[in-house]
Chain A
Amino acid sequence: EVQLVQSGGEVKKPGESLKISCKGSGYNFSNYWIGWVRQMPGKGLEWMGIIHPGGSQTRYSPSFQGQVIISADKSMSTAYLQWSSLKASDTAMYYCARRGPGDHGGSDYWGQGALVTVSS
């Protein structure tokens, strides 16, 4: 069974750093792109970026380029999303999602989400 399991919720102060994780199982983690999606409280979905764990190719949405870093460790079957200096506006639910097979593939499996709260 394909699963993406994310790390737990975090409460941080502005200016702190953070790295959250997304561990895949039940499939060849190296072969499928993993994307990250932000959902601010009461708002819609925003695509942040995507990584191919096999080759570490990474693409970012222009809105998030330079704001976060996406990485992956294929030996651990884990993708990461990190911030060097959090802001209150980073408070949101963050989802990882696997890009499905095929050229048109939507995101067929999602993590359970990780709630990040940034508050002084």
Chain B
Amino acid sequence: DIQMTQSPSSLSASVGDRVTITCRASHSITTYLNWYQQKPGKAPNLLIYAASSLQSGVPSRFSGSGSGTDFTLTISSLQPEDFATFYCQQSYSGYTFGQGTKLEIK
């Protein structure tokens, strides 16, 4: 099984901040890496697929990078609606989610 480890597990930030979340795979997954945002009581929403491709309708302040085992999700300037939990997911061999990163308002 491929394990996915996100860091940090939680993060406090302010509106306007630049935020980076990291995801590490236990084996190389090339660019088979997706990022989701989940708000309380809602289904997850796809933000980034294939490590760096922005899903249609997602604001351009969200970006993804990385390949192999190390990946990042960056939010360039936090907006009030961005506070949520973020998950990475590998789709290289089956599918595995990271444990999540909760982004809270400072």
A positions within 8 Å CB-CB of B: 35, 37, 44-47, 50, 59, 61-62, 95, 97, 100, 102, 104-108, 110-113
A-side contacts of B44, CB under 8 Å: 37, 45, 95, 97, 107, 110
CB contact between A100 and one of B31, B46, B95, B98 (< 8 Å): that residue: B46
Q: What is the size category of the interface that chain B forms with chain A?
A: 20 to 34
CB contact between A50 and one of B50, B55, B95, B98 (< 8 Å): that residue: B95
Of the listed residues B32, B34, B35, B43, the one surrounded by the most CB atoms of chain A closer than 10 A to its CB is B43
- Closest B residue, CB atoms, query A111: B43
- Closest A residue, CB atoms, query B32: A104
- Closest B residue, CB atoms, query A60: B94
Given A35-B95, A47-B94, A61-B94, also A107-B100 (CB < 8 A): no
A104 pairs with B94, CB closer than 8 A: no
B97 at interface (Cβ–Cβ under 8 A)? yes
Could you tell me the distance between the alpha carbons of A106 and B87 in the complex, rounded to whole angstroms? 12
B-side contacts of A113, CB under 8 Å: 43
A-side contacts of B45, CB under 8 Å: 110
